[in-house]
Amino acid sequence: MRIGLLIIDLQEAHLGKVEQQVIDKACEYINYVAGLLRSRDHAVIHIQDIEGMEPSEEAKFNIIPGIEVQETDFRVKKEYSNAFWKTDLEQIVREQNIDLLILSGYAAEHCVLFTYNGAAERGFKAVLLQNGILSSHSDVIPATYRDRSLISYPVIEALVQS
């Protein structure tokens, strides 16, 4: 099974209302899973929301320093909440023969959710990374986990071992 990790909108421009310790915890989980997947030649895809970006604010739209980015990772820039909409994400997923998408990042109630739904609409299996999604509203995370498929890093470890 080929796995792809989507790291969605972890950019300074979007994380202003999220506490730093919450961001740090999510980054720890995301980086661990990304490293695990990279070590087994699975895909890591960074999604950057550039909607409304002004040239003078470009630095705010970079991926935050807490997320490790490797040369082999893919990057997708988007202007809509669903990372599949009007981007080459679907093409990358198909070309990489990805069977399972693991979604992480910000915001659970917007871009993560819309991308999760976009994956399902295109026939991809998608799950959310436990402790790997963020929101500026604390009640959103439990509701998002309750209503969607979820995966923990020990399960990912078992999947990549087989």
DSSP conformational letter for 130: E
- CB–CB of 46/83 below 8 Å? no
Q: What totals of helices (H) and strands (E) does the chain contain, helices first? A: 5, 6
SS3 120: helix
Question: Quick one: which of 104, 134, 106, 137 has its CA closest to 21?
Answer: 134
Contacts of 21 (CB under 8 A, 6+ apart): none
Per-residue pLDDT in tens (0 to 9) along the chain, 162 residues = 999 999 999 999 999 889 999 999 999 999 999 999 999 999 999 999 999 888 888 888 899 999 999 999 999 999 999 999 999 999 999 999 999 999 999 999 999 999 999 999 999 999 999 999 999 998 999 999 998 999 999 999 999 997
CA distance 107 to 12: 13
CA distance 54 to 56: 5
Residues forming beta bridges with residue 129, ordered by sequence position? 151
- DSSP structure string for 22-82: HHHHHHHHHHHHHHHHHHTT-EEEEEEE-TT--GGGGGGGSBPTTS---TTSEEEEESSSS
